[in-house]
Amino acid sequence: MVGYRLVSREYCDKPTVVDVLGVKIGSGAPPVIIAGPCAVESREQLMETARLVRDSGAQFLRGGAFKPRTSPYSFQGLAQKGLEYLAEARKETGLKVITEVMDADSLDIVAGCADVFQIGSRNMQNFHLLRAVGRYNKPVLLKRGLAATVDEWLNAAEYIVQEGNSNVILCERGIRTFENYTRNTLDLSAVGAVKYFSHLPVIVDPSHATGKRHLIGSMSMAAVAAGADGLMIEVHPTPDTAQCDGEQSLNPSQYLNLISEVVKLAHFLRTSRASYNEFY
């Protein structure tokens, strides 16, 4: 099964570079860093994290105002208030904001503060939502469904591009396997597979992929070495008190250490090899 056309290498062999107000994703330059809390919890929590993320040299702040939670009793996000805090953090720090949009009805309000719409794993095959963001003039981060094949993921991207929005960034965030130590299994081969079959950029989210703080560093380094165009990392001022995903969030010093290692690795890779194409 293939099915997709516009996102394929046959259609366009040149890698797509998604330009988010001057920040280029997929250009072969150092990987972009998207970091922030799982959920926007308060103004203080978000502003403190945003300053840390800016000072680390990252380009994007992440944070959910609308949270897709497994249990309806879990914290569901601050909704409109969360968007307002994101807008404020964006204004103060100059970081670009990426936040999840869960349904087509909230596209307009999310668009008010988001530079990139995030489509979460659970909505990867919400075709109505994919079409709706496809009609919007704003980049989209499309997370891989938790049980989706690479083919299904690329077909989901096709729905967005087919509507006219070619600014799609894919995000590998782990898939469900029989292994249950990690929250999901990070499928790093998907980075190479996507680049082989598609011209779209692909980033990696080691936080949701592993669910374990102690694995985020090694999996981030592996993702960059595998050729990922960026990383999405959860960071929280006090992970132990986080309302959501604290166990997979780095604290500020762990986060800063990791970013400095990633920067060194990216520099090494840039100066030591021209392209992974050499391996084919």
Q: Binding residues for Mn ion, per CB under 5 A?
A: 38, 245
Closest CB to ligand PEP among 64 and 227? Answer: 64
Residue 173's binding partner among ligand PEP, Mn ion, none (Cβ under 5 to 8 angstroms by kind) is ligand PEP
In terms of CB distance, is 43 or 122 closer to ligand PEP? 122
CB of 129 to ligand PEP, least distance (A): 13
**Alpha-carbon distance values, 125 to 17, 96, 193 (Å):** 24, 26, 20
Could you tell me the smallest distance in angstroms from the CB atom of residue 34 to ligand PEP?
10
d(CA 208, CA 144): 11
Nearer to Mn ion, 158 or 234 (CB): 234
As measured in angstroms, the least distance from the Cβ of 185 to Mn ion is 17
Q: Which residues of this protein are in contact with ligand PEP, per CB under 6 A?
A: 38, 64, 68, 100, 120-122, 143, 173, 208
Which residue is at the shortest CB distance from ligand PEP?
120
Choose among ligand PEP, Mn ion, none what residue 100 binds, the Cβ cut-off being 5 to 8 Å by kind: ligand PEP
The site partner of 120 among Mn ion, ligand PEP, none (C-beta below 5 to 8 Å per kind) is: ligand PEP
- Smallest distance from ligand PEP to CB 104, Å: 17
Nearer to Mn ion, 38 or 140 (CB): 38
36 binds, among Mn ion, ligand PEP, none (CB under 5 to 8 A by kind): none
From first CA to last CA, the distance across the chain in angstroms is 23
Give the nearest distance from C-beta 132 to ligand PEP in angstroms.
Answer: 17
